[in-house]
Amino acid sequence: MSGARYRAVAFLTPYQEGPDGEAGGHPAGLRRTAGGRLATVTDAASVRQALLLLLSTRPGERVNRPAYGCHLFRLAFAPADDTTAGLAIHYVSRAVEQWERRVDVLAVEADRSAEEPWLLEVRLRYRVRATQDDDELTVAVPVDAGGRP
């Protein structure tokens, strides 16, 4: 097969690493090439981007697909306990299984960040079905650390 299996317009979130490896904090949005065209991502990067967009979209945001998205936003500032971690795992697993048919979920884990206890880190390990390549991504949800360090 000569071309890319998957292709999408490149879209970066504020804290996502840019195409040239620059650190996060750059403006979010569509990327352009040096020639002024819309930049694209292909294959594994396209799948990863789709997963990040899925997990950061609230159901109801998309007019033509009101059920599309993930309920992680519901956990913002919830207590940092096992119940919240379990809900995060459930929300991520459900969203990926429902909306991203190109991957198999290998594992979803959620834990408070050791360095930043006010963040719940949700780690998704997945396998791209077409290539059998494994990858992992982590998203953070702000939680109530209850004054604990």
Per DSSP, which regions of the chain are E strands?
A: 7-9, 11-12, 29-30, 40-42, 103-112, 119-128, 134-142
Query: 44-142 adopts what CATH topology?
Result: Nuclear Transport Factor 2; Chain: A, (3.10.450)
Could you read off the pLDDT of 48-103 as tens digits, one per residue?
988 998 999 999 999 999 999 999 999 999 998 999 999 999 999 999 999 999 99
Give the per-residue pLDDT at 21: 47
User: Alpha-carbon distance 108 to 51, whole Å?
Assistant: 13
* For range 97-115, the mean pLDDT: 94
pTM of the model: 0.80
User: Alpha-carbon distance 52 to 138, whole Å?
Assistant: 9
User: Alpha-carbon distance 58 to 129, whole Å?
Assistant: 26
Which of 72, 76, 49 is closest to 59 using CA atoms? 72
Give the per-residue pLDDT at 70: 96
pLDDT at 11 over 60: yes
How many other β-carbons are positioned within 10 Å of the β-carbon of residue 25? 10
Instruction: List the beta bridge partners of residue 126.
Output: 105, 135
Could you read off the pLDDT of 118-131 as tens digits, one per residue?
999 999 999 999 88
